[in-house]
Amino acid sequence: MLNPSVSDLVEIVGSKYTLVVLTAKRAREINLGSIPRVDMPNSNKAVSIATQEIYENKTFYTTLEEE
């Protein structure tokens, strides 16, 4: 089970599609060597780290509507 839940993450981001793209992009950056912005001693998986960063508002993004 994913913690935080998908519904919690969608509330933060606004759309499940944005959540998928944002998580994938950040996970890819982590896999390529970017330093994680959160401390997760229980997991070293990039997707888990990316979702936790989104949950803690440590991943920043803009949408086309905001530009």
- Domain assignment present for residue 38? The answer is yes
- Domain assignment present for residue 36? The answer is yes
For residues 3-13, give the mean pLDDT.
Answer: 93
| pLDDT tens per residue across span 43-61 | 889 999 999 999 999 998 8
- Domain assignment present for residue 37? The answer is yes
- Domain assignment present for residue 44? The answer is yes
Q: What's the chain look like in SS3?
A: CCCCCHHHHHHHHCCHHHHHHHHHHHHHHHHCCCCCCCCCCCCCCHHHHHHHHHHCCCCCCCCCCCC
* Ramachandran region, residue 33 (left: φ > 0; alpha: ψ -120 to 50; beta: rest): left
- Domain assignment present for residue 1? The answer is no
- Domain assignment present for residue 32? The answer is yes
- The pTM score is 0.87
> Maximum CA pair distance of the chain?
37
- Domain assignment present for residue 45? The answer is yes
Domain count within the chain: 1
Write out the residue range of the structural domain in which residue 30 sits: 6-55
> pLDDT-derived band of residue 67, with 50, 70 and 90 as boundaries?
low
| pLDDT tens per residue across span 25-38 | 999 999 999 999 99
